[in-house]
Amino acid sequence: MARISARRLSELTITGLFLALIRTLAEYYRLRYVRGTALGLAEVAPYITGGLMASLGAWAAVVAYFFGRYRVATGIVVAVVVAMLVYKVVVIGGLP
């Protein structure tokens, strides 16, 4: 069985984090569809914070990747995803 290299794993995890970022930012449109004109900033603010967490984490992981620190990049992504999950459970509500 072939082993996955650290470089490939970091590429996959960074891609996954970008997908999480897109999903987090797209939540605004889902909320706007559900709530309509009654949607306020207080309802969207937690998702903005989650998007900032994902984007800063992706930036840090990409920088580590460019410097050849593939395991560090993977670690950053894992830490950011865990932080986002904890943030979701604590601030937004439980897991789906």
Per-residue pLDDT of the chain (96 residues; tens, 9 = 90+): 679 899 999 999 999 999 999 998 998 888 888 888 888 888 888 889 999 999 999 999 999 999 999 999 999 999 999 999 999 999 888 766
For residue 21, is it within any domain? yes
Look up the pTM and report it: 0.87
Q: Give me the domain span that covers residue 67.
A: 6-92
* Count of domains for the chain: 1
Asked if the structure places residue 42 within a domain, the reply is yes
CA distances (Å), origin 57, targets 41, 78, 84: 24, 9, 10
Q: Has residue 27 been placed in a domain?
A: yes
**Alpha-carbon span 59 to 76, nearest angstrom:** 10
In a domain, 1, yes or no: no
Amino acid at site 60: A
The C-alpha atoms of residue 59 and residue 93 are separated, in whole angstroms, by 26
